[in-house]
Structure 1
Amino acid sequence: MSIPLHLALEVDAPSTATDIAALERAVAAAERAGVAFVTIDDHPGSPSIEAGVRASYLARRTTRIGLAPTLHVAATEPFHLATQLASLDHATLGRAAWVVGAARGAEALATVGRAPLGPEAVRRETADVIDVARRLWDSWEDDAVIRDVATGRFLDRDRVHHVGFEGATFSVIGPLITPRPPQGQVVVIGSDALGVTGRLDIALVGGDTVDDIGRRAVRARRHGAALAFAELTGLDDLELRLERLAGVVDGVRLHLPDLELVDRIPPALALAPAGATLRETLGLPRPANRYALARTA
């Protein structure tokens, strides 16, 4: 029986944090099972390989599955964060996503020489970083690269834009140093507890019961998230749990106690064949470029 839900899988584990071969095996198994995308957690200050680097390694070693590293807003310079994710989208030909991380403790922020942040400060910074990343991804219009041999022009400078962003703790002039991502906008994923649900493409919601999850999913969509994914742990009674969640959420993110269990995910649980990009797989439209819209208004 096919369950009408998208499947995602968290592949962070002690083995995959430092053993890139173990990570590659786990993601390959997830791809065979029809998982829509994998998320890769990150732990600033730990000896693990940074999640964005691990995702980049997997970019050309996978063909269909989406790759979603966690990048922490307060521990990553916003311009570089947006560039790293745009580059990942180019490397994967449109399969990149971003799990918004909000680490704010002393150990995590010591990696970049910052003091710990309070809850409201990190919520404000999270909102600012998402906003500037989205502007930077739009800073090149889709037809900015013209490659006009006759005139020797590579770019149409009127289609590359300064974003001029002023946040609470940083400013970014832009534009980005890479052309617009293939998806237009990288898929943005985050917990509904971050306080920035309206800025997310996918809100991750938890709960002890289907009713709890359902209430949070309804609230996330009402606040602006396009999709809501439930957080689930383990494979026990997975098909039954998915049946109960069908129509309540759009997908689930699985957390497995042992990534050797990835091979036990039934391929029949995949919602549909993959699209050309992660957005197509998830049924998300490719956003119009804000600067192109303003220029032609």
Structure 2
Amino acid sequence: MTLHLALEVDGPGAHPAAWTVDPRPTADALGARRLRDVVAAAENAGVTFVTFDDALVPSPDGVAGRLDAVTRAAYVAPLTSRTGLVPLAHPAVVEPFHLASQVAALDHASLGRAGWLVGSGPVPGARRALDRPVADGQDLRDETDDVARVARDLWDSWEDDAVVRDTATGRYVDRDRLHYVDFASGGDGLPAGPSARATPDGVRAPFTVKGPLIVPRGPQGRPVVVGRHAAVDGGLLDVALVGDVADVAAARAAGSPLVVLDLAVTLDGAHGTAAERRAVLDARTPWDAPTAWTGDAAGLVEVLLGLRGVVDGVRLLPAVLDVDLPVVVRDVLPALRVARATPTTRPGATLRDTLGLPRPVNRYAAAAATA
């Protein structure tokens, strides 16, 4: 059995105090050159996909100006050829039509290596940024499902052969192969707009989407949808993220084809032992990571080998990226390759190919074929 390895590459690291000990200036940690280098290191090491976290508010050190996750993924798309690119976009703060368009465009730019990490839970700063009410609790969960559902519909709104490029007649598309989604969400508040400004938070604003999308169907048909178990309907996910192996069975029962464990890692290295480094970080800001490894690289390799057959993959969350990633690349991933525990990513393969997921049949084409 093989184990897919994913990696979170946002900012200075996954630990909330990572910025306090990052060996480089924070502006560099958020810059394009550093992002390129980190993703290239992950790809060369054989990581199946990388994720890009996101936030509306500045980082704890006060440095603002970070580009959104989809834009950062698009930047590294032409600089990579094998690793999947999975940016976070939160349904509560991104219009569904624009979200689906952006991720579909990323799928084209990456030649079929795009995914969408579905944001979940409250979003700090959302009300101030949007100037409208933001759903919470069960309403937010329902809205997340609605956005994931309509994004999937929009990705199917162009059939695979809708683009004809007939120069003789001047036709670019076959309009009979474009479809209107005509989706209406739940929610009993006022629709988003100036009239909703006085509405308190927690009231869900309904939305409608007509379609079709402004981007043709991508190389994967639908980009890979990654989301947290129990925060998104499992039937809408391709990959469910869990924080504990105890949740794996429930995630599979919910209908997610693949289950990936989030694992926070702090490793021994030139900057001190893992225990010492973790103690310094936690003293500044505690890290509430349900599943974590704090120790040497050999021990992490044994943990990962033991997870084969339990989960389909592990997403590593390095405490401090520029300290822990070199150890992962030098000592962890090569040992896993020697053990034949991880798949080999190939140039030209889509993310679905690498993950062993089928390319979805376009629902409108399938309906027409059976009519």
TM-score where L is the length of structure 2: 0.75
Matches for 1:191-230 after TM superposition, within 5 Å: 191-207=228-244, 213=245, 215-230=246-261
Structure 1 counterpart of 2:23:
none
User: Are residues 1:252 and 2:295 paired?
Assistant: no
CA contact (8 A) 1:11 1:40 kept: yes
Backbone CA RMSD of aligned residues? 1.6
CA contact (8 A) 1:32 1:267 kept: no
Distance 2:118 2:302 in 1: 30
Structure 1 counterpart of 2:45:
33
Matches for 1:1-297 after TM superposition, within 5 Å: 4-14=2-12, 15=26, 18-46=30-58, 47=64, 48-105=66-123, 107-168=125-186, 169-207=206-244, 213=245, 215-234=246-265, 235=267, 236=295, 237-260=299-322, 261-265=324-328, 266-268=332-334, 269=336, 271-275=342-346, 276-297=349-370
Q: Which amino acid aligns with 1:192?
A: H
Q: Which amino acid aligns with 2:223?
A: V
Structure 2 counterpart of 1:210:
none
Give deviations 1:190-229, integer Å, cap 9, x for gaps.
111304222111000112xxxxx0x311111111101000
Unaligned runs of 5+ in 2: 13-25, 59-63, 187-205, 268-294
Give deviations 1:91-137, integer Å, cap 9, x for gaps.
00000011100253451242122224221111011000000100000
Distance 1:70 1:34 in 2: 21
Give deviations 1:55-85, integer Å, cap 9, x for gaps.
1111111111111110010100110000000
| Structure 2 CA distance for partners of 1:227 and 1:141, relative to 1, 3 Å | same
Distance 1:37 1:262 in 2: 14
Distance 2:154 2:305 in 1: 39
TM-score where L is the length of structure 1: 0.93
Residue-pair matches, total = 289
Q: Which amino acid aligns with 1:148?
A: D
CA contact (8 A) 2:229 2:251 kept: yes
Unaligned runs of 5+ in 1: 208-212
| Aligned partner of residue 125 in structure 2, secondary structure | helix
Give deviations 1:269-289, integer Å, cap 9, x for gaps.
352222510000000000000
| Aligned partner of residue 111 in structure 1, secondary structure | helix
CA contact (8 A) 2:159 2:364 kept: yes
| Structure 2 CA distance for partners of 1:103 and 1:44, relative to 1, 3 Å | farther
Distance 1:150 1:13 in 2: 50
Higher Rg of the two aligned structures: 2
| Structure 2 CA distance for partners of 1:159 and 1:188, relative to 1, 3 Å | same
| Structure 2 CA distance for partners of 1:284 and 1:78, relative to 1, 3 Å | same
CA contact (8 A) 2:113 2:350 kept: yes
| Structure 2 CA distance for partners of 1:264 and 1:124, relative to 1, 3 Å | same
